[in-house]
Amino acid sequence: MTEKKRKAVGVSMWKLTWRRFRKNKLGMAGLVMLCIIVMIAVLAPVIASYSPIEQHLEDRLQPPSSKYLFGTDELGRDIFSRVLYGSRITLSVGVLVALISAAIGVTLGLVSGYYGGIVDEVIMRIMDIVWSFPH
């Protein structure tokens, strides 16, 4: 047994996974970016200087400036604030879809694995049909 394997014997699977993931530079860059996006979404009320629904009709269609970082839309709403608040909704929808997909997938996998045979074949053919449609 190598020294690395001996060191890893008393370590949990999560620690081993984290150690391995830390060595992947692209994976770590993606994790940092995801953490930044989540932090921005969580801190949107603090970061945004204007309400995303507040209208400033006198400032309609303004270009990006120090007052409005991304400019304003046709109703004078700050686009930067709208993007920050929109990121909250986007992340919520993404997490919800992932949870629903996982629940459906786990349920179908359990049913298919438990009953096997014809039930497994029917579920697999239905999934083949679903996967045949382009996204």
| Separation in Å, CA 105 to CA 56, 112, 120 | 47, 10, 13
Distance CA 102, CA 22 (A): 26
pLDDT tens string 32-61: 999 999 999 999 999 999 999 999 999 999
pTM score of the predicted model: 0.73
pLDDT above 70 as % of the chain: 93
Q: Shortest CA distance to 65 belongs to which of 54, 78, 56?
A: 78
CB 55 within 8 A of CB 76: yes
- In the block, residue with structure tokens 């497994």: 120
pLDDT tens string 91-107: 999 999 999 999 999 99
CB 94 within 8 A of CB 102: no
